[in-house]
Structure 1
Amino acid sequence: MKKRDLAIIAITVFVMCIPLAIIAHQNNEPRPAMPSTAFDWNSIKAVATKTGEKRQFFDAPTATLDNFECHVTTLNPGEMAHTPHQHPEEELTIVKEGTVEVLVDGQLKTVGPGSVVFQATNKLHSIKNVGSTPAVYYALKWKSSKTAATPNK
């Protein structure tokens, strides 16, 4: 190998490390706390999914939480949002429209509009549209200093 080849390799390695360093630096910076905000339903873009659609309202730290996330899912009739799973964050589901079947503490329960479902940390849960019309629900999850630092399952 010639000196020229070694120089090209060294420059290439250096140039390739710059984007990685930028990404690593961005991921380590604390994000600012979400301020008081009003979210207009019509201004949140609906993104198509294989089971319906999703609107992501926010996913950010707050003054008292490490992270607070809210999205709205629309499930087509007969569709399940995901197979039963668990995660360290607690989760609150508020049914806006339709009829859903939820797995709660090992039991399947059927609930409709206005119903609220709380899923405790690391408990197996799921949600399925068992009605004949689209089901729409808000999902809220949060992380605090008490949330276990294990990845989602």
Structure 2
Amino acid sequence: MHSGVFTWESLAPQPTKVGAVRRVFDTPTPTLNQLEMHITTLKPGEAPHGPHRHPDEELIIIKEGTVESNLDGVLRRLGPGSVIFHASNELHTVKNVGDTDATYHVIKWRSAATPAATP
């Protein structure tokens, strides 16, 4: 992957059961085995999935709305501008706990040092 610019207008929302997703990229880079970015919009009361874990590290940046972060059972209510970091293989999820849509940017990466998935 080379440097690039991705405009909001060019990222068509794909409807999901819980809201929508805008896929930005999912590809290797010169220094990472995989770099993935997408933007999720959740309807009020919805979560993208239950608590789960994966070997990738992940950043979530809240754009709008109010979400509840669940990091290994510890719940935190977060709003726009908040950042969540999910370390490799740690149990986590987010949920829209507001009255309006919640939108957040997700950046995930995998490198040669990324461990295997844990059950």
Q: Is TM (by shorter chain) over 0.5? A: yes
Question: Is the radius of gyration larger for structure 1 or structure 2?
Answer: 1
Mark the runs of 5 or more structure 1 residues left unpaired by the alignment. Answer: 1-33
Deviations 1:18-68 (A, max 9, x none): xxxxxxxxxxxxxxxx10000011101110000000000000011110100
Q: Which amino acid aligns with 2:62?
A: V
| Identical counterparts, % of pairs | 53
2:48 aligned with 1:87: no
For 1:66 and 1:130, locate their aligned partners in 2 and report how far apart those are by CA, in whole Å.
34
Displaced runs of 4 or more, over 3 A: none
Q: What SS does structure 2 have at the residue aligned with 1:149?
A: coil
For 2:110 and 2:41, locate their aligned partners in 1 and report how far apart those are by CA, in whole Å.
24
Tell me how many residue pairs correspond in the alignment.
Answer: 119
Deviations 1:76-123 (A, max 9, x none): 001011100000011100000000001124301110000000011111
After TM superposition, the score normalised by the length of structure 1 is 0.75
CA RMSD of aligned residues (A): 1.2
After TM superposition, the score normalised by the length of structure 2 is 0.96
2:89 aligned with 1:122: yes
* TM alignment of 1:3-152, pairs within 5 A: 34-150=1-117
Higher share in strand: 2
Contact 2:59/2:85 (8 A) holds in 1: yes
Contact 2:13/2:20 (8 A) holds in 1: yes
Map of 1:25 onto structure 2: none
For 2:89 and 2:117, locate their aligned partners in 1 and report how far apart those are by CA, in whole Å.
10
Mark the runs of 5 or more structure 2 residues left unpaired by the alignment. Answer: none
Contact 2:41/2:103 (8 A) holds in 1: yes
Higher share in helix: 1
Q: What SS does structure 2 have at the residue aligned with 1:55?
A: strand
Q: Which amino acid aligns with 2:33?
A: D
